Amino acid sequence: MKKAILLIASVILTLAVINSCKKETKSSGDGKIPWEGVEGQVKEFTTFNKERLAFGTGKKQTSLKSFMLHDEPRNVQNIKMYIILECPTGGCNAWDVYANIKVKDKKSGELYEIGRFITPYGVDNSAYPDGYEIDVTDFKSLLTRKTELRARIETWGSDGWELTVKFKYTLGKPDYQYYAVNDLMRYDEWSTSGVPYGVSHSKDLTRTVTIPNNVAATSLRTIISGWGHTTPTDVDGRPCAEWCFRTHKVKIDGSDKFSHQMGAMGCNTNPTNNQAGNWQPDRAGWCPGMEVPVRTDNFATSMAGETFTFEYSYQPWTSNGGSTSGTVGAYYATSCFVIIKSNSPIFKPVVID
């Protein structure tokens, strides 16, 4: 009798789940499945178009504009962002400089870094036929309908670059219909507004995070690049933080959970091999004339309904106040976000400083 009751209860529960899933895949009003009739389609959007970013003589390093993007995030399988750099009349700026693209969170008004790149020395990036490619699917809840984007190139010359940013949305049944994102760290405005390395500082590197109950998958998304030529150098002569190879940790509930190795990326294999500067030697986790890697850390469980502590832990090292370039200071420009996914509507995770 007991087995029969359990079997009936199991069947009822299964039918309820199936019915719930059916409801979740329908859009409100018309009863259509969001990806019905669009499977495999690719939609392209050009946002910034030959946007001149420079410094001085009335030019600006930053541009903030609104654009219309794809209107249904629930049928998006992936979004790729492509960054194209062209030289203005007279040529590109001579230096490899920090640059990024951000999207404005419509509710909080905060700007979230969706991609970072380093400009090549004095040339365009036409060696990349489509431009630098960065997967920005994590931000599909924000990259929809009317969207504000900010582009910045930290160049200090009146030449600069002409920037074009394109998005390609591949449509179809996604891994999960609903995504949400919240920021954990946003020390990424400029190359030297990151976290000071090897010295005491006031940057807050810890957070408390609560994940909604109906979440099916949770991950962290980090972009990090080191700057500065501060001593003491490593045994191979590399100063910090641009050149010194390090392994940083993400701590969850006080224990090391994920590792980020800031090591060699093979800068000398860069397709942009005609750069007019010192582009070939390996930096710590980035290269001149390339996109900066996105580091994705997936939790083994959904983390649904859980509260945990987060801490970004930089490998210990102490500066002696010297420099190999004459400018003292080592920094890690760091952005980190918590991404959640579900097949039912979700609120963004709660993050407390």
pLDDT score of 57: 86
Q: Looking at the annotation, which residues are catalytic?
A: 96, 154, 242
Per-residue pLDDT of the chain (353 residues; tens, 9 = 90+): 333 332 333 333 233 333 444 444 444 445 679 999 999 999 999 999 999 999 998 999 999 999 999 999 999 999 999 999 999 999 999 999 999 999 999 999 999 999 999 999 999 999 999 999 999 999 999 999 999 999 999 999 999 999 999 999 999 999 999 999 999 999 999 999 999 999 999 999 999 999 999 999 999 999 999 999 999 999 999 999 999 999 999 999 999 999 999 999 999 999 999 999 999 999 999 999 999 999 999 999 999 999 999 999 999 999 999 999 999 999 999 999 999 999 999 999 999 99
Cβ–Cβ under 8 Å, residues 258 and 250: yes
Residues 6+ apart with CB under 8 A from 153: 53, 61, 97, 98, 99, 119, 160, 161, 163
pLDDT score of 9: 30
Q: CA-to-CA distance for 102 and 110, rounded, in angstroms?
A: 9
Write phi, then psi, for 288 (nearest 5 degrees): -60, 135
pLDDT score of 15: 35
Cβ–Cβ under 8 Å, residues 54 and 165: no
pLDDT score of 205: 98
Q: In this structure, what token pair is assigned to residue 37?
A: 């009739």
Q: In this structure, what token pair is assigned to residue 250?
A: 């993400």
In the three-class reduction of DSSP (H, G, I as helix; E, B as strand; rest coil), residue 106 is classed as: coil
pLDDT score of 26: 47
pLDDT score of 8: 32
pLDDT score of 164: 98
Q: What is the largest CA-CA distance in the chain?
A: 86
Cβ–Cβ under 8 Å, residues 177 and 34: yes
Q: In this structure, what token pair is assigned to residue 233?
A: 């150098």
Sketch out the chain's domains with CATH numbers.
Answer: 26-174 (2.60.120.230), 176-353 (2.60.120.230)
